[in-house]
Amino acid sequence: MELWAIWLVIGIALFVIEMLTLTFYLLWFGIGAITAALVALIVPDLYLLQVLVGCIVALVLTFFTKPLTKFMRQSKGYSDVIDELVGKQGFVIEEIDVGKNGVVKVGNETWSASSDQLLRKDEMIIVIHRGTTVLEVQKWEGVS
């Protein structure tokens, strides 16, 4: 099999995995692999050049993505979906002990969660704060 085809398969595989995870981590590596495939088509015998160009493209895209996303998050009218979780109700899937994370379900999504009180499975909760990946919750005392 030609080396450009291998690079192409790697790039497509990374794109597919990226679509399944939606993290934007593998997208840049996929573009780097596609770029390496193009280099392999032009100069098939320079393996090191293919690797270097693919890596440089992935690094440059990764480096310039951070300021771009920061700018977009600070723009007027931007709202992060995670911020909308604060104040929403859900229930405990895995028990949350003080100082330890558990799992809650809010809407159709499951999240890692922490609390300053013991929360048992199936107890109703309300989201009071969001961290990067962990929600802070407390027992919901309201009437539904």
Structure confidence by residue, pLDDT tens digits, 7-59: 999 999 999 998 887 677 789 999 999 999 999 999 999 999 999 999 999 99
Q: Which whole number is the average pLDDT over 129-134?
A: 83
pTM > 0.85: yes or no: no
Check pLDDT > 60 for residue 6.
yes
Q: What is the overall mean pLDDT for the chain?
A: 88
pLDDT of residue 77: 67
What 3-state class would DSSP assign to 128?
strand
φ, ψ dihedrals at 132, nearest 5°: -70, -50
Task: Kindly give, in sequence order, each residue whose CB lies less than 8 Å from that of residue 90, ignoring residues fewer than 6 positions away.
Answer: 104, 105, 106, 107, 124, 125, 126, 127, 137
Check pLDDT > 80 for residue 112.
yes
pLDDT of residue 80: 63
Task: Output the CA–CA distances (angstroms, integers) from residue 144 to 73, 88, 92, in the order listed.
Answer: 34, 13, 16
- Asked if 128 and 138 count as a contact pair (C-beta separation under 8 A), the reply is yes
- Asked if 113 and 125 count as a contact pair (C-beta separation under 8 A), the reply is yes
Nearest CA-CA partner of 124 in 101, 140, 142: 140
Q: For each of the domains in the chain, give its residue range(s) and CATH number, in order of start.
A: 3-74 (no CATH), 81-139 (2.40.50.140)
